[in-house]
Amino acid sequence: MRLILLGAPGSGKGSVADLVTRAYGLPRVSTGDLLRHAVRERTPLGIRAEEAMRAGRLVPDDLVIALVGERLAAADARRGYVLDGFPRTIAQAESLARLDPGRPEIVADIVAGEDVIVRRLESRRVCPRCDAVYNVVSRPPRRAGFCDRDGEALVQRDDDRPEVVLNRLRVYHRETEPLLGYYGARGALLRIDGAGTVEASFAELRPAVEAALASGAKGAAA
């Protein structure tokens, strides 16, 4: 089974994916996290991706597709996985279908208004060491300014500056929103309300995930 989380920047993809991972043990594959890791490590991929990320543009499809292909080949993805931030273009969606064909799929679009999104991204803080995500308003760390897990000082993501957020939203509308039509036409699209709590979004998603996991288990037993 694979769960694809669509949704604008700040709609809550990463936060919902974390709950799915915790509840069902499916690995979360976040292209944003993989790319940020590559940038931090100064890998050739990271060096090529950095400028686009800093400006809030998409990283070229071929780079991201190769990264995801490598990640999905890992043993922990065999039972299923949660895709957070991939695919983001029609070309990426088509590559995914070729990369891992025939896998039952749930596609969920997490929907939140732009005013909510802008406020959330302004108040997001992240741990530069372990990528844990906080929010000074809705999910503060136990000790203000420091990661609960490893005590590292929290930072703001480079691309959470207001002018970059606006560009990310423009890029989302232009390049990623067409995926709603793409998956809608295949009858696989769920609409999840992302304006309430993360737990409420997760609760909306649970029945579909549980049904897909149960049918996968039945298929494996047959």
Q: Interface with Mg ion by CB under 5 A: which residues?
A: 14
Asked if 168 is an active-site residue, the reply is: yes
Binding status of residue 11 toward ligand AP5 by CB under 6 A: yes
Shortest Å, Cβ 104 to ligand AP5: 21
- Starting at the edge strand that comes first in sequence, how are the strands of the sheet with 81-84 ordered? 28-30, 81-84, 2-7, 105-111, 189-193
Can you give the C-alpha Rg of the chain in angstroms? 17
Q: Verify binding: residue 179, ligand AP5, rule CB under 6 A.
A: no
Q: How many CA atoms lie within 13 A of 190 on its CB side?
A: 20
59 touches ligand AP5 (CB under 6 A):
yes
Among 71, 168, 209, 212, binds ligand AP5 (CB under 6 A): 168
Residues 26/20, Cβ–Cβ less than 8 Å: yes
Amino acid symbol at 141? P
Q: Name the active-site residue from 2, 71, 125, 168.
A: 168
Question: 197, 12 in Cβ contact below 8 A?
Answer: no
The tokens of 143 are what?
């000790």
71 lines the binding site for ligand AP5 (CB under 6 A) = no
Q: How far is the CB of 75 from ligand AP5 (least distance, A)?
A: 23
Alpha-carbon distance 152 to 164, whole Å?
25
73, 197, 214, 219: which one binds ligand AP5 (CB under 6 A) = 197
Q: Is 111 exposed, middle or buried (0-12, 13-18, 19+ CB in 10 A)?
A: middle
Residues involved in catalysis? 13, 88, 124, 157, 168
- Footprint of ligand AP5 on this chain (CB under 6 A)? 7, 9-15, 31-32, 35, 52-53, 56-59, 64, 85-86, 88, 92, 120, 124, 133, 135, 138-139, 159, 168, 194, 197-198, 201
